[in-house]
């Protein structure tokens, strides 16, 4: 088991490179809504950071600015060492997972996972092998030929995660991926996600409304408050990895949950 200090050293060692750097970033929509106000945040390589906050505090807008879908009004955003516009062109570096699995219903599970590789210069055999590898990672290798409608909600989400992982992204953006799942499925997918994150050595940015989920998953939690959307605090989650289910019942876990919940109220 990795101790807290070892974990911090591991993240520290990789900290030479910041995967996301935001400085003085604001987004004011044309109707005057200040969705994000003067956000500064540096996210180190290998970090798992959750953004928690009430509806409307700017979480999705931050993700949209990182992915280049929405332009920032002020400030600078650097992703994987380049300005966001350039990062946008290197699409395979960044993977996305949303609350809705958004699978193509007429395509098999394997064909859905192969989608992001469609325009890559690889042979069909290689594409298939990469998709099979991603499906194995999420524990669905036996469902390659199934159609999405034959899967449960949790399995569909696993396919969606496999599709995001197939191009081996360095940065994975997950916008409330488990929000629509029941609590048991949700907890099992949380454990799976941590196992994948540890084995794939990528950086994950994760949006959730659920403080327990944020603390269980993350190395850091960015607590956001609304009107205007701001990062009120960044809380280090100094719990060791790998994290098993028991960790959720420890005092240390409850203390961090209490700290995040307190910051949410400011």
Smallest gap, in angstroms, from Cβ of residue 202 to ligand ATP?
Answer: 22
* Alpha carbons 219 and 237: distance in angstroms, whole number: 5
H or E stretch covering 3? none
> Given candidates 26, 50, 60, 190, which one binds ligand ATP under the rule CB under 6 A?
60
Establish if 57 lies at the interface with ligand ATP (CB under 6 A). Answer: yes
Distances (CA, A) of 71 to 2, 36, 94, 128, 223: 40, 12, 17, 35, 22
Smallest gap, in angstroms, from Cβ of residue 57 to ligand ATP?
Answer: 4
∠ CA 122-128-133, nearest 5°, is 110
Smallest gap, in angstroms, from Cβ of residue 103 to ligand ATP?
Answer: 21
Mark the segment that binds ligand ATP (CB under 6 A) among 40-48, 54-62, 77-85, 255-263. Answer: 54-62
Smallest gap, in angstroms, from Cβ of residue 28 to ligand ATP?
Answer: 9
Establish if 46 lies at the interface with ligand ATP (CB under 6 A). Answer: no
Which of 173, 172, 185 lies closest to 61 in space, CA to CA? 173
Residues in contact with ligand ATP, counted by CB under 6 A, come to a total of 13
Establish if 29 lies at the interface with ligand ATP (CB under 6 A). Answer: yes
Establish if 58 lies at the interface with ligand ATP (CB under 6 A). Answer: yes
Which CB atom, from 61 or from 218, has the smaller least distance to ligand ATP?
Answer: 61
Dig out the tokens for 182 from the structure: 């029941």
H or E stretch covering 43? strand 34-44
* Alpha carbons 198 and 202: distance in angstroms, whole number: 8
Establish if 50 lies at the interface with ligand ATP (CB under 6 A). Answer: no
> Is there a cis peptide before residue 242, judged by omega within 30 degrees of 0?
yes
Residues near ligand ATP, by CB under 6 A: 29, 31, 33, 35, 53, 55-61, 229
């Amino acid at each position: 088991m990795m101790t807290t200090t070892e974990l911090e050293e591991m993240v520290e060692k990789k900290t030479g490179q910041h995967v996301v750097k935001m400085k003085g970033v604001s987004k004011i929509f044309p109707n005057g809504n200040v969705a994000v106000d003067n956000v500064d945040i540096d996210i180190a390589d290998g970090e798992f950071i959750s953004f928690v906050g009430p509806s409307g505090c700017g979480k999705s807008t931050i993700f949209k600015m990182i992915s280049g879908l929405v332009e920032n009004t002020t400030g600078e955003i650097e992703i994987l060492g380049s300005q966001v516009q350039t990062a946008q062109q290197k699409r395979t570096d960044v993977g996305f997972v949303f609350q809705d699995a958004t699978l193509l219903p007429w395509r098999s599970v394997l064909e859905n996972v192969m989608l992001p590789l469609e325009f890559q210069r690889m042979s069909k055999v290689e594409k298939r092998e990469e998709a099979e590898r991603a499906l194995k990672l999420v524990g669905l290798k036996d469902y390659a030929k199934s159609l999405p409608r034959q899967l449960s909600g949790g399995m569909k989400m696993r396919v969606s995660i496999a599709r995001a992982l197939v191009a081996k992204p360095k940065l994975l953006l997950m916008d409330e991926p488990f929000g629509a799942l029941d609590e048991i499925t949700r907890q099992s997918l949380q454990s799976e996600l941590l196992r994948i994150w540890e084995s794939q050595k990528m950086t994950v940015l994760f949006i959730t409304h659920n403080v327990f989920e944020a603390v269980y998953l993350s190395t850091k939690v960015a607590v956001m408050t609304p009107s205007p959307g701001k990062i009120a605090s960044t809380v280090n989650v100094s719990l060791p990895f790998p994290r098993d289910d028991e960790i959720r019942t420890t005092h240390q876990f409850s203390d961090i949950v209490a700290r995040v919940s307190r910051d949410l109220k400011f």
